[in-house]
Each structure stands twice: as C-alpha cells, then as structure tokens.
Amino acid sequence: MKKNILGIILIVLVAIGGVLIYKALNSKKVPPELVAGVGNFDGDLININTKYPGRVVKINVDDGSDIKKGEIIAVLDSDEYRDKLKAVESQIKAKENELNFTTAKINNSIKEAELACKAKKNELKALEKNIESLKAVIAQDKKDEKRIAELVKRKVNKIHDLELAKLKTVTDTKKLDALKAKKEALIKAVNIARKNLDTAIAAKENIKALKNAVLALKSQRDEIQVIIDKLTIKSPVNGYIVDKVANIGEVLGAGMSVVTAIDPENLYLKMYVDEINNGKIKIGDRAVIFLDAYPNKPIPARVIKIAQKAEFTPKEVEVREDRIERVYEVDIKPVTPNPLIKFGLPGIGVISIGGKLPDSLDELPKL
C-alpha cells in the first residue's frame, strides 16, 4: 500500500516538474520590436488657489468630484474688503453730491455773468447811440448859433436869441461830456462783467476735477469689487478634484490652495525602461496602454517624453531583472482623453519600435 502511494506521489511530482520545464521553455516573451513596462498615471496637478485672503464660507466639491470649467468651487468672504467697498461707496456718494452742487452753482454763476455782460454791452451800445445823436445836436446848435449871430448883426434877431442859442450849445455840450463819462464807466463795467464771466467759466475746471475724483473713486470701487468677485473660486479646467485642501471656516492667505485638481487631458503613464530599451525609443512612437481592469481594451497612446538621465529604480517600480538598478523614465500619453484613466491608477504600457502593438495583455508575458 505504501509503495503505491509513493509511486503516485512520484508520478505527480514528475508531472508538475514537466509542466514547469515546459512553461519555462515555452514562456511568452515580449517581442524584440516592442518595449513593455508598468507604471502609474501621472499629470500636472492644478492648485486652484485664492488670489486674495478670505475666510472659506462655502465649498461645493470633495475629493473625486467632477468639475467643469467656470464651475464655482468655493466661496470666500472678507470683512476687510467689504468694509473698504462700503467706505468707497460712501465717498462716491458724497463726492457726487458735491459735484452736483458745484456744477449747479457754477452754471448759475456763468449764466448770471453772461446776462450781466450782455446787459452792460447793450447799455453801452445804447449810450453810444445817444452820444452820436447828441453830437449831431451839438453840431446843429453851433450852426444855429452862427446863423442867429448873423441875424443879430443884421438886426433881424435880438441879442437875447443869440444868448439862448449859446446857452443851448453849452448845455448840450455838458450833456455830451456827462454821457462820455458814463461811457467810460460802462466800459469799465463791461470789462468787469467779462472778467466775472471768464472767472465763472474757469471755475468749470473745478467741475472737471470733481468728475475725475468721482471716476477715481469708482475705479477704486471696481477694483475692490473685482477682489470680492475673485473670492468666488471657479474651476479653470474640466476635470476632477484630487484633493480638497481647505475647509469651511478656515482663513486662507493670498495664494493658498483651496483644492487640487487635474485635467484628464494631461494624464500620462509614467513608466520606466532599462538603458538598452531606452535607446530604441523616440518621441512620437506609437504605444498602447492597458488597465488591469480592462486587459482586452488597448488605449492608443504616443511617447511624449524620454528622460535623458538615468535614475535608481523607484521602489514602487518592478523590473524584469533584479540586476537592473538604474532606469529611464518614459511617459506615454493617450491620443485622446479616456474616462477610465484616473490619477495614480496603475497601467501597463507597450511601445512599438517597429512591431505590431498587442490587442490584449494575453499576448504578453506577465509583467
């Protein structure tokens, strides 16, 4: 009985040994025209931060949340900026009131000065007409005086008539002198009215200065409003959240991160190859990527980066030979974004250096 059991055990061991020897002799190998390796998906992380300090009052996302470009990620608030905005708005209101009052006052002054100037000019014009008329009267007085003097000589008129004629000439001449004096005074009054008008018009510069002051305050208000608007943090990309950094109630300084996100279009598989294979690969080479969960769904890719400097094999990277201590990083990126790919997910990359790319992991040895 014992002999039979030993015989059976011996047969089983021989069979197992034969299978192992067969597998060793007939094991799958990576074709020489292909380079395969394992790695993890990496990408450029995006720190979505706040440009200005504030307290977090609302967060709309969590780790792993999908985000769209322009979507509100979080809302911060700042009493400091709101107080500044309120103060500036009060200054704007006060300055606008001052502007309105000053504008009305100056416009009224200009109107009054224009009316006064016009009135004095009209008065001067009328006076000049009176002066010209009186000059004509005086000229006639002198003629009458001369004519009466001749008539007196001829005994036609009495001496009294001549005296009356002379008196009229003297009286009208005195009136003319008075009008001329009044004209000089009116000319001075017109000049004063013109100066008053010029002064009133020059005061418009005060209106301009006040308008500029209002515009400056409004510009300051708009700048503060932009800061407050920037406290509403929006996503710059379509992607998903890798890490929620901030929490509600926390006070963040300028430049501090709210969340860390990634754009799936920037994901690539970071794999490592030895020096021999690295020398065969070039930028733009065709490749495929396999995910552990989808061994029969190759994801078309291209080589986008080949490290120029070797590094010691990272602990998390497995190589086919233990003697390989230094490797080169090679990055391959999907031709089109794939929703199955996530940051940090492991994958297997296969690069073609002239051969046909596999359609399944079953065509390759276990890596």
For the chain, domain boundaries: 26-44+263-363, 48-73+231-262, 81-226
- How confident is the model over 211-227, as a mean pLDDT? 96
Q: Is the pLDDT of residue 22 over 50?
A: no
H helix intervals, the chain: 2-26, 79-153, 159-202, 204-230, 275-278
- What digits encode the pLDDT tens for the residues 25-34? 445 677 888 9
pLDDT of residue 24: 43
Residue 309 backbone dihedrals phi, psi, to 5 degrees: -125, 135
Q: Are strands 268-273 and 346-352 parallel, antiparallel or unpaired?
A: unpaired
CA dihedral 48, 51, 57, 63 (to 10 degrees): 10
- How confident is the model over 66-70, as a mean pLDDT? 94
pTM of this structure: 0.63
Distance of CA 96 to the CA centre of its chain: 27
Nearest to 252 by CA among 224, 226, 274, 233: 233
The domain 81-226: what is its CATH number? 1.10.287.1490
HSE at residue 338, side-chain half, CA atoms within 13 A, is: 22
Residue type, 126: A
Q: Is the pLDDT of residue 220 over 60?
A: yes
From residue 192, give the alpha-carbon distance in Å to each of 121, 183, 326: 11, 14, 98
Residue 288 backbone dihedrals phi, psi, to 5 degrees: -135, 155
Lowest-pLDDT range, 13-17, 72-76, 183-187, 320-324? 320-324
**Integer Cα distance of 346 and 329 in angstroms:** 15
pLDDT of residue 62: 94
Collapsed DSSP state (helix, strand, coil) of residue 340: coil
Nearest to 335 by CA among 277, 276, 288: 288
Nearest to 194 by CA among 113, 288, 126: 113
Q: How many residues does the chain have?
A: 367
- What digits encode the pLDDT tens for the residues 196-218? 889 888 888 999 999 999 999 99
- What digits encode the pLDDT tens for the residues 288-313? 999 999 999 999 999 999 998 887 76
- What digits encode the pLDDT tens for the residues 340-353? 899 999 999 999 99
Q: First CA to last CA across the chain, in angstroms?
A: 45
pLDDT of residue 358: 92
Which residues, in sequence order, are bridge partners of residue 260?
A: 47, 243
Which residues, in sequence order, are bridge partners of residue 288?
A: 300, 350
Topology (CATH level 3) of domain 48-73+231-262:
OB fold (Dihydrolipoamide Acetyltransferase, E2P) (2.40.50)
User: For residue 291, what are the contacts with CB-CB under 8 A and spacing of at least 6?
Assistant: 297, 299, 340, 341, 345, 346, 347
**Integer Cα distance of 241 and 262 in angstroms:** 7
Q: Band of the pLDDT at 20, cuts 50, 70, 90?
A: very low
Rg over alpha carbons for the chain, rounded to the nearest Å, is: 52
Q: Are 43 and 30 in contact (CB under 8 A)?
A: no
Second CATH level (architecture) for the domain 26-44+263-363: Beta Barrel (2.40)
